[in-house]
Amino acid sequence: MPRRARITLPNVPVHLIQRGNNRQPCFFADEDYRRYLDWLAEYADKTHCRVHAYALMTNHVHLLISSERADAGGMLMKSLGQRYVQYVNRVYHRSGTLWEGRFRSCLVQEEDYLWACQRYIELNPVRAGIVAHPAEYRWSSYRANAQGEADSLLRPHPLYNALGDGEATRQAAYRELFRHALESGLVDQIRRATNGNFALGNEGFASQVSDAIGRRATPGRSGRPRKSVELASDELF
């Protein structure tokens, strides 16, 4: 059976997840994280992708990007994935695949859903029990977005810039978004949309996406989403 075509549209934010094969680690040392981020910046520039948020976990990666080209995310992940696999295989004297098939993704409606997705990404280390607060985790975009730590990789979304007139004001407003954990229903909605390659947003957004791509962009009829499959424990982050 042919794979379902990925939902992509220009200038619409995309949440991407790339997992290690068989849920095995894809980062083994600090240098691995640094190399991945360096190459992410390089290929994001080459493919004209804007990276708004990221979290590199031990066995998977979360990115929130946008681009004027609908195919830019796929180009980015292909080039980045190949480069990183070559590095890992060389350094750790291994061979074969590192990633678990295709990356997973969903289009993200702006306003409330963009912030929900960005919080979901940067709160991954907290939900995984690695840290108590996202600022304690080194390999995510939280410190840059919330505290002003230098990160040349990031390209803030216009909604981030609209949080305030100056950097300090924007960072304070951004930190305020993290005062409370994401609601469990919203977390499930983000997981379902990303794992299923659906639109993440309200009914109007899903309808607009469906009209643009010429097929359904939701898991089922409006108001009656398909029951999600049970996820393995390390997919819950």
Question: What CATH number is associated with residue 181?
Answer: 3.30.70.1290
Whole-number Å distance between alpha carbons of 95 and 89: 5
Q: Checking DSSP bridges between strand 199-200 and strand 104-108, what pairing results, if any?
A: parallel
Give the model confidence (pLDDT) of 192-222 as tens digits. Answer: 999 999 999 999 999 999 999 998 898 755 4
95 lies in some domain: yes
Alpha-carbon span 106 to 64, nearest angstrom: 10
Beta-carbon contacts of 8 under 8 Å, excluding residues fewer than 6 positions away, are 14, 70, 71, 73, 74, 105, 107
Burial of 68-78, coded b for 16+ CB within 10 Å and e otherwise, reads eebebbbbbbe
Positions in the chain whose pLDDT score sits under 70: 1-4, 220-237
Look at residue 111 in the predicted model and tell me its pLDDT: 79
The pLDDT score that the predictor gives to residue 221 is 54
Give residue 71's domain range: 14-217
pLDDT value for 6: 85
Q: Which of 130, 163, 132 is nearest to 148 (CA)?
A: 163
* Alpha-carbon distances of 90 from 6, 32, 79, 83, 133, rounded to whole Å: 31, 12, 17, 11, 35
In a domain, 223, yes or no: no
Query: What integer pLDDT is reported at residue 57 of this predicted model?
Result: 98
Global confidence as pTM = 0.90
Any long-range contacts for 36-41 (C-beta under 8 Å, 24+ apart)? 36/61, 36/80, 36/84, 37/139, 37/153, 39/80, 39/83, 39/84, 40/76, 40/80, 40/153, 41/152, 41/153
How far lies 83's CA from each of 10, 190, 233, in Å?
A: 25, 28, 28
The pLDDT value recorded for residue 2 is 52
3-class state of residue 64 by DSSP: strand
Q: According to the model, what pLDDT value does residue 48 have?
A: 97
Residue 47 resides in a domain: yes
Does residue 199 fall inside a structural domain? yes
Confidence (pLDDT) at 232: 37
Residue 61 resides in a domain: yes
Which of 137, 146, 138 shows the shortest CA–CA distance to 118? Answer: 146
The count of other CB atoms within 10 Å of the CB of residue 21 is 13
Which two three-digit tokens encode residue 235? 């997919």
pLDDT of residue 229: 35
Can you tell me whether residue 140 is helix, strand or coil? strand
67, part of any domain:
yes
Q: How many domains does the chain have?
A: 1
Instruction: Find out whether 145 and 175 touch, Cβ atoms under 8 Å.
Output: no
